[in-house]
């Protein structure tokens, strides 16, 4: 099968969307399929044998730390030359508009997948007035697809309630060979703990942006001297966060990848995840695979992964003091170890193959229906 993937983000960028995509593409290539990636031109033109067709990219005024590709007619040329059996548009918003439009114009079978709660993010940028318009725009885009994918049951329900058609849940996955407790490293622990490896090491991994609500963690450091914090990642909010955490025992590392990131997880004690806006939270599964218990907000997608007092602790995001009180429960090492063991057990058999097989099944379902001229009856 010839598969075209049009995505708003790809290598060398690193986030949960790219991680999921690269895992899926590896599987599709191993199964003998021909994959072509259409993505913002960031200087990478091949991924493990799959060609990457770049679309000119630039920074945008509202997000200077990342480059985006605007809608571009070059996507029509790229799709026409490749002539795929199916087009998968990932997170269609800007470049994805071209992917959706030209797939329909060229009468190519189309799948779309939803990964980012953009409308919810607007609350953190004082743009709530535009949420209705954003939902209208996304609904128009996604309802061109024969099949839509969401990364959690909670998001699936929300999309269906907002009028998105034919929404299915795309299973979770995580690299259980890379992320494992065996990656523990004494030098990494000393680095992340700022020379205090005897203290409880809290870890945050992710994009540094206002909607992640990372500021909440400071209260733990102020109330208890048993904890230190490592923040792994980068983004538009880093400078503000460094100022916010000034005077606390906090280490900012910037981005980490591969084995270095795996060591960071395994060398820490507790993963903290204050965000309430995630559609999945791949970092949650990476932390669990590494043997870390979690503290996370009681929100739909998070509750699908974390069971309170079993593999982590959930806090009430509506209660301003509950986050600190919840993290401080891990002053009890017995509790920490019990939840850490359960967290690792829950995802130790997961891997990426299950979700990749499922994706291929969706591709086959849509192409079969298209071949029968019955695309409109997908259920």
Query: At how many degrees (to 10) do helices 16-30 and 282-289 cross?
Result: 70
Q: What is the pLDDT of residue 302?
A: 85
For each of the domains in the chain, give its residue range(s) and CATH number, in order of start: 2-173+352-377 (3.40.50.2000), 181-347 (3.40.50.2000)
Of residues 57, 72, 49, the one with CA closest to residue 13: 57
Neighbours of 377 (CB within 10 A): 10
Cα–Cα distance measured from residue 262 to residue 87, given in angstroms and rounded to the nearest whole number: 33
Cα–Cα distance measured from residue 362 to residue 86, given in angstroms and rounded to the nearest whole number: 10
Q: What is the reported pTM? A: 0.90
Q: What is the pLDDT of residue 22?
A: 97
Q: What is the pLDDT of residue 92?
A: 97
Task: Answer yes or no: are the C-beta atoms of 91 and 20 closer than 8 Å.
Answer: no
Q: What is the pLDDT of residue 372?
A: 61
In DSSP notation, 16-71 reads HHHHHHHHHHHHHHHTT-EEEEEEE-SS--EETTEEEEEE-EEEETTEEEEEEEPP
The residues, ordered by sequence, that sit 6+ positions from 27 with a Cβ below 8 Å of its Cβ are 352, 353, 356, 357, 360
Each residue of 333-342: pLDDT tens digit?
999 999 999 9
Q: What is the pLDDT of residue 126?
A: 76
Q: What is the pLDDT of residue 374?
A: 46
CA 355 → CA 27, 119, 170, distances in Å? 10, 26, 7
| Type and span of the H or E element at 243 | helix 238-244
Q: What is the pLDDT of residue 136?
A: 98
Q: What is the pLDDT of residue 375?
A: 39
Task: For 334, list phi and psi in degrees, rounded to 5.
Answer: -65, -45
Q: What angle do CA 273, 334, 212 make, to 5 degrees?
A: 5
In the chain, which residues have pLDDT < 50?
374-379
Looking at the DSSP bridge assignments, the partners of residue 67 are: 59
Strand duo 227-232 + 200-205: pairing = parallel
């Amino acid at each position: 099968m010839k598969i075209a993937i049009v995505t708003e983000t790809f290598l060398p960028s690193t986030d949960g969307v790219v991680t999921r995509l690269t895992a899926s593409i590896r599987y599709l290539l191993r199964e003998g399929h021909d994959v072509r990636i259409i993505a913002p031109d960031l200087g990478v033109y091949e991924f493990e044998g799959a060609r990457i067709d770049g679309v000119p990219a630039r920074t945008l005024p509202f997000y200077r730390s990342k480059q985006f590709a605007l809608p571009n007619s070059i996507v029509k040329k790229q799709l026409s030359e490749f002539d795929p059996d199916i087009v998968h548009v990932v997170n269609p918003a800007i470049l994805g508009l071209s992917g959706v439009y030209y797939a329909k114009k060229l009468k190519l079978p189309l799948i779309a997948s939803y990964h980012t709660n953009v409308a919810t993010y607007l609350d953190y940028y004082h743009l709530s007035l535009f949420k209705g318009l954003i939902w209208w725009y996304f609904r128009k885009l996604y309802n061109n697809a024969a099949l839509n994918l969401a990364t959690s049951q909670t998001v699936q329900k929300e999309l269906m309630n907002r009028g998105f058609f034919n929404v299915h849940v795309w299973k979770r996955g995580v690299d259980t060979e890379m992320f494992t407790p065996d990656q523990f490293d004494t030098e990494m622990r000393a680095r992340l703990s700022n020379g205090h490896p005897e203290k409880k090491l809290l870890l945050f991994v992710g994009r540094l942006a206002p909607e992640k609500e990372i500021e909440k963690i400071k209260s733990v450091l102020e109330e208890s001297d048993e904890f230190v914090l490592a923040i792994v990642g980068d983004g538009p909010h880093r400078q503000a966060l460094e100022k916010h955490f000034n005077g606390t025992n906090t280490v900012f590392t910037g981005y980490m990848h591969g084995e270095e990131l795996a060591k960071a997880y395994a060398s820490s004690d507790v993963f903290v995840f204050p965000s309430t806006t995630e559609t999945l939270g791949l970092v949650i599964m990476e932390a669990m695979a590494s043997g870390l218990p979690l503290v996370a907000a009681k929100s739909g997608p998070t509750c699908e992964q974390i069971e309170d007092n079993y593999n982590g602790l959930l806090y009430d995001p509506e209660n301003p003091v509950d986050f600190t009180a919840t993290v401080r429960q891990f002053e009890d090492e017995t509790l920490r170890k019990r939840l850490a063991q359960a967290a690792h057990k829950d995802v130790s058999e997961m891997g990426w193959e299950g979700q990749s097989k499922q994706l291929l099944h969706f591709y086959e379902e849509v192409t079969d229906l298209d071949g029968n001229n019955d695309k409109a009856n997908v259920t």
